[in-house]
Amino acid sequence: MKIKITGIGSYIPETTVANTDFSDHVFLNEDGSAFAYPNEVVIGKFKSITGIEKRRYATPDQNTSDLAYLASLKAIENAKIDPETIDYIIFAHNFGDVKHNTKQSDIIPSLATRVKQKLQIKNPKCVAYDILFGCPGWIEGVLQANAFIKSGMAKKCLVIGAETLSRVVDPHDRDSMIYSDGAGATIIEASDDETGMLSYESATYALDEAGYLFFGKSYNPELDEDTRYIKMYGRKIYEFALSQVPAAMKSCLDQSGLGIDDVKKILIHQANEKMDEAIIQRFYKLYDKAVPKDIMPMSIHELGNSSVATVPTLLDLLVQGKIENQELKKGDILIFASVGAGMNINAFIYRY
């Protein structure tokens, strides 16, 4: 028995923030000193590395659970199911609900419980819980749904990835331009045909790598040092991703019994354009193959990095035909892959 995605939905916030909107920001080095060059240079370098031109932010009245609810409504409608038949709601996020102009995370009750309430699901046997797994959280939620369904514990699962990273960034850190808000949701059910998940991989590297992404104080020494923001060691993450993600993807593909030439699309976490391109190049090099044209759809240019939401949102945009020069066909072999805080890596092979 396999599992498959029977419904997909996403919510992309309406507020668009362009790179030029950061022209007046006061960006600082880690030691609090000013950059030796103007913001136009900072933004130009940022664009050339990440590929990001714009990103989306939630409106002040929206929280992460609100975005997730809106994406879930679309997934349920797309799957044409009664929400009362959902057995598990698995919600991947990292920071909970962070209200506009605050920095405090609110995760009581769980965000999954909040979505269940918003969906007005009465069935108490619909179990709702959150997972914290960094950017690979949505994929990990799908793997958990796979385990529940194969074990007989569930027939239908709602797996969500949502985040409002704009609420937890240090405005004086140029990395703040990477992050965005969004939500993606999927209905997962058993597959009685050839479609669905074929194999998977998941791992946590913590001995030396646990602190590559962390919560730290602002680069502005005048701000409250007890207020924390999302921080990262970008070079270490880049090197880690290139050394570990391609190998995990290869192991996953080899387990499926398929070959590299069978792969039609790779849906990778939208973290950084240059890093994602390097991962794919390294992956194909493991098979002594050149990277095929249009193998890796990208949404980061317009939507930024919304963490756990990037992969399901990318899938939804593909299904809707909203990514230029990209399409999915029945029977296509897809690789889903992600890397993020933890440091966690996961992937699965999927026949669409």
Domain identity same for 177 and 50? yes
pTM of the model as a whole: 0.95
Q: Which of 127, 159, 194 is the endpoint of a domain?
A: 194
pLDDT tens-digit map of 89-98: 999 999 999 9
Domain identity same for 133 and 10? yes
pLDDT tens-digit map of 60-87: 999 999 999 999 999 999 999 999 999 9
Domain identity same for 40 and 56? yes
Total domains, the chain: 2
pLDDT tens-digit map of 199-253: 999 999 999 999 999 999 999 998 888 889 999 999 999 999 999 999 999 999 9
Q: Is the pLDDT reported for residue 331 higher than 90?
A: yes
Q: Which of 162, 194, 226 is the endpoint of a domain?
A: 194
Per-residue model confidence (pLDDT) at position 36: 84
- Tell me the two tokens of residue 219: 């680069």
**Which of 142, 125, 132, 140 lies closest to 188 in space, CA to CA?**
142
- The answer to whether 22 and 39 have CB atoms below 8 angstroms apart is yes
pLDDT tens-digit map of 41-64: 989 989 998 999 999 999 999 999
Residue 343 lies in domain: 198-351
Q: Which of 163, 194, 225 is the endpoint of a domain?
A: 194
Domain with residue 119: its CATH number is 3.40.47.10
109 cis-preceded (ω within 30 degrees of 0): yes
Q: At what angle do helices 234-256 and 273-285 cross, to 10 degrees?
A: 40
10-26 b/e (C-beta count within 10 Å ≥ 16 → b): bbbbeeebebeebeebe
Cβ contacts of 109 within 8 Å, gap of 6 or more: none
Domain identity same for 206 and 279? yes
